[in-house]
Amino acid sequence: MEYLQKISEGLKQLTAVAVSILALATVLQVLFGPNVAFFPVDVVGNIVNITKALGSEGLVGLVAAWVLLTILNKQ
């Protein structure tokens, strides 16, 4: 069971790094526009698309957003 705890901790750390990179990419794109050399992906556009998709799904979208927030807050 100890290896499952190690895997869980590793995934938590990986999620924390991914969220930090996402936040950095969002701030850079807001400051410098969509042509940021470090992040060739339209981060803000993708966040808007995900939000629209969750919003158009109604109750299922709310449940999915709640699940994602619960997972991210368990760090």
Q: Which domain holds residue 59?
A: 2-73
Quickly tell me which residue has 């290896």 as its tokens: 3
Q: How many domains does the chain have?
A: 1
Those residues whose C-beta lies under 8 Å from the C-beta of residue 25, and which sit 6 or more positions away, are 36, 38, 39, 41, 43
- Render each residue's pLDDT in the chain as its tens digit; 75 residues: 788 899 989 988 998 898 888 888 888 888 888 777 777 788 888 888 887 887 777 777 777 778 877 877 765
Residue 17's pLDDT is: 92
Q: Distance from CA of residue 34 to its chain's centroid? A: 18
Residue 75's pLDDT is: 56
